[in-house]
Amino acid sequence: MIRIRQIADFYQFLIYDKYALVVFRIKIKSTFAYSKLKVTITVPGLLVYKMIQITLFILLSIPMVLISRHALHNLQKHGFYRLLCWECIAALLVLNYKYWFRDAFGINQVISWILLFVSAYFVSTGALLLSKSGKPDKNRNDKSLYRFERTSQLVTTGIYKYIRHPLYSSLLLLTWGICLKDVTPLSFILALLSSAFLYLTAVLDEKECVVFFGEKYKEYMNRTKMFVPFIF
């Protein structure tokens, strides 16, 4: 709803709905009297909220694109598809953040929180082991890799004893954890796309690892799963 009223030599505009309130003033330049002017205009109630969603998505996307810039020009690098996965997760977050604590004890929320907590465990444990045991090599010349990814040693202990990609597993769990906050056709499609991009990310990452580590990594692949221990 938009309402306009005259205050002294200003018009005051109030734009409001259940999501936001915007107030601004425009000075009157004419000498005519407008004291009886009353205007009420109805606008879609979700307009402001949609604009906020778009703004949040752009703000989330900018840093993700910047830190992935070295992989954007090469479709054969896993970083390109990881960025697409991140974009899907950002879109899910923007869509579902207002449902984060809705129906706190509902089955969807319970499962969602379990997935989110396991996701946090996977990413923290996986990143710590990778940086500690992987012995990142500053001389490994591949700008598409982050510094902690430029490992010189194959990590096969801890969580890596069971799955090859705990960091990607955490993103998979995060995807579906956010999706379950409010399952709609759009959020479900975004979760499927994110999962597909994660799978492509892992496949290409493994090809890069085979090139770098050779037969040792192939043997490691034969005795471990990709995302879920003992299952997949």
Total domains in the chain come to 2
Mean pLDDT of the region 145-169:
88
Residue 99 inside a domain? The answer is: yes
Which residue range(s) make up the domain with 118?
47-222
Residue 36 inside a domain? The answer is: yes
Do 96 and 12 belong to one domain?
A: no
Do 151 and 205 belong to one domain?
A: yes
Residue 214 has pLDDT above 70, yes or no: yes
Do 153 and 79 belong to one domain?
A: yes
Do 73 and 165 belong to one domain?
A: yes
pLDDT bracket for residue 44 (50, 70, 90):
low
Q: Is 2 exposed, middle or buried (0-12, 13-18, 19+ CB in 10 A)?
A: middle
**Alpha helix (H) residue ranges in 36-99:** 47-67, 78-96
Do 70 and 34 belong to one domain?
A: no
Query: How much of the chain, in percent, has pLDDT values that exceed 90?
Result: 52
Residue 101 inside a domain? The answer is: yes
Q: Return the H-helix or E-strand segment holding 213.
A: helix 185-213
Residue 72 has pLDDT above 50, yes or no: yes
3-state secondary structure of 135: coil
Do 139 and 27 belong to one domain?
A: no
Do 188 and 217 belong to one domain?
A: yes
Cα–Cα dist 53/187, whole Å: 14
What pTM value is reported for the model? Answer: 0.77
pLDDT bracket for residue 139 (50, 70, 90):
low
Do 12 and 97 belong to one domain?
A: no
Do 34 and 126 belong to one domain?
A: no
Residue 229 inside a domain? The answer is: no
Residue 231 inside a domain? The answer is: no
Residue 209 has pLDDT above 50, yes or no: yes
pLDDT bracket for residue 110 (50, 70, 90):
very high
Cα–Cα dist 179/112, whole Å: 8
User: What residue type is 26 in one-letter code?
Assistant: I
Residue 185 inside a domain? The answer is: yes
Do 122 and 180 belong to one domain?
A: yes
Residue 167 inside a domain? The answer is: yes
Residue 212 inside a domain? The answer is: yes
Do 122 and 16 belong to one domain?
A: no
Cα–Cα dist 192/196, whole Å: 6
pLDDT at residue 131, rounded to an integer: 83
Do 211 and 194 belong to one domain?
A: yes
